[in-house]
Chains A and B, each alone.
Chain A
Amino acid sequence: AQSVTQLDSQVPVFEEAPVELRCNYSSSVSVYLFWYVQYPNQGLQLLLKYLSGSTLVESINGFEAEFNKSQTSFHLRKPSVHISDTAEYFCAVRYKAAGNKLTFGGGTRVLVKP
Chain B
Amino acid sequence: EAQVTQNPRYLITVTGKKLTVTCSQNMNHEYMSWYRQDPGLGLRQIYYSMNVEVTDKGDVPEGYKVSRKEKRNFPLILESPSPNQTSLYFCASSPWATGTGNTIYFGEGSWLTVV
Chain A interface (Cβ < 8 Å from any Cβ of B): 4, 6, 9, 32, 36, 42-44, 46, 49, 51-52, 90, 92, 94, 96-97, 99-102, 104-107
Number of interface residues of B (CB under 8 A): 27
Of B48, B103, B107, the contact of A101 (CB 8 Å cutoff):
B48
A-B CB contacts (within 8 Å), total count: 61
Whether A102 pairs with B45 at a CB distance below 8 angstroms is yes
Q: Which residues of A contact B94 (CB under 8 A)?
A: 100
Query: Which A residue sits closest to B97, measured CB to CB?
Result: A100
Of B33, B44, B108, B109, the contact of A100 (CB 8 Å cutoff):
B33
9 closest pairs, A vs B, by CB?
Answer: A104-B42, A51-B101, A43-B108, A104-B43, A44-B106, A32-B101, A106-B42, A100-B31, A43-B109
What are 18 inter-chain pairs, A to B, with CB distance below 8 A?
A: A4-B42, A6-B42, A43-B90, A43-B108, A44-B43, A44-B90, A46-B103, A49-B103, A51-B101, A96-B98, A99-B98, A102-B35, A102-B92, A102-B104, A104-B44, A105-B42, A106-B40, A106-B41
Known contacts A43-B107, A43-B109, A101-B48: A96-B40 contact under CB 8 Å: no
Whether A90 pairs with B101 at a CB distance below 8 angstroms is no
Q: Which residues of B contact A6 (CB under 8 A)?
A: 42
Whether A101 pairs with B106 at a CB distance below 8 angstroms is no
Chain B interface (Cβ < 8 Å from any Cβ of A): 31, 33, 35, 39-45, 48, 50, 58, 90, 92, 94, 96, 98-99, 101-104, 106-109
Q: Whole-angstrom distance from the CB of A10 to the nearest CB of chain B? A: 10
Q: Which residues of B contact A107 (CB under 8 A)?
A: 39-40, 42
